[in-house]
Structure 1
């Protein structure tokens, strides 16, 4: 978790460090990312990096959390209770567009291609949601992943997602 020392830095200094993190984590998979280019780009001492973050994974989780907050800020997250396939299709499209239009697109693409399995996630416990909701979340995430990695496939991925969600909602042919 980012330290209080980091949160007490000026906004300008925090932004400079976030930009250095973004550069490294967008260009290098987490498994080979290094502190040296980050501190050089940010203009900070190596010791300062470790005052702000426990390690590279901590810095990565911090930055990825910022990216997700930024992209999700314009997405309506209230489901109606009933499985509404169109709601989830709209959510996927909004997330993909938000990611593509953001400064974090390279980070998100690298995350989905290389880093997702290296960083523990605060995923929803499948025992706390219905099977239908859980399946919808998994399908939506995989659709996002496919579209981010292969943008030209968006129409077919969205069509397949629509078909699958309609089946889950009991609205499609089996």
Structure 2
């Protein structure tokens, strides 16, 4: 987390640093991203940077967490609007609305795409750890709501199912990256929809032969 000195800055100065960091981390890997460039774009001395953040990792995790928080807020509003949908329909809706999020927040979308290609395992695991609790909370709310409606078995472990949903989300991103070289859903909406439907069918219908 940033130091208190960062939060004591004016909103304009703080937002300038955030914007410069998003630009840098969305266009370069963690290892290649330059603190010097971020300082230059945000008009701060490098010495000042270390008064605000412990190191590059500290800034990177903070910026990625901001993107995750924005996406969670975006999806939370959507889920409140479509609360009458089934759990399966809601989860599928998240992928469809992911296209809308990418259009409304292109900088965060670019940041997410760059992150999906990240090879630095320490950087990647640090971000995943930071964002895990937020996405976990969203999925558990969806699952518990489905339980309250009698839609799914009340004995289902909400945490375990939320972990499956998070793994499914990661699998879709990995699938997109391996097949198309990026995770921009708007370019391959039909393909993504078919793949998501296949994964959801396994989760909700199981793999046993019912004949």
Fold similarity call, TM over 0.5: yes
Which structure 1 residue ranges, 4+ long, deviate > 4 Å from structure 2?
171-174
| Structure 2 match to 1:143 | 172
Distance of 1:165 and 1:116 partners within structure 2? 30
How many residues in Structure 1 have an aligned counterpart in Structure 2?
169
Q: Secondary structure at the match of 1:31?
A: coil
- State which drifts further: 162-171 or 65-74: 162-171
Structure 2: how far apart are the matches of 1:96 and 1:31? 28
Contact 2:25-2:114 within 8 A present in 1 as well: yes
> In 2, distance between residues paired with 1:142 and 1:97?
20
Cα RMSD after superposing both structures: 2.8
Aligned to 1:105: 109
- Secondary structure of the corresponding residue to residue 188 of structure 2: helix
Instruction: Please list every run of 5 or more consecutive structure 1 residues that lacks an aligned counterpart in the other structure.
Output: none
Give the distance between the partners of 2:39 and 2:50, measured in 1 at CA.
10
Higher helix share: 2
- Summarize the alignment of residues 8-157 of structure 1 with structure 2, pairs less than 5 Å apart: 8-76=8-76, 84-102=87-105, 103-114=107-118, 117=121, 118-119=123-124, 120=126, 121-122=128-129, 123=132, 129-130=159-160, 132-144=161-173, 146=176, 149-151=183-185, 152-157=187-192
- TM-score, with structure 2 as normaliser: 0.69
Asked if 1:167 corresponds to 2:196, the answer is no
TM-score, normalised to structure 1, is 0.82
Residues 124-160 of structure 1: CA deviation (Å, up to 9, x unaligned): 69x9822x44322211232245275254333112212
Which one is further off, 162-171 or 85-94? 162-171
Cα distance, 1:47–1:35 mapped onto 2, change above 3 Å = same
1:116/1:164 CA distance change after superposition, 3 Å: farther
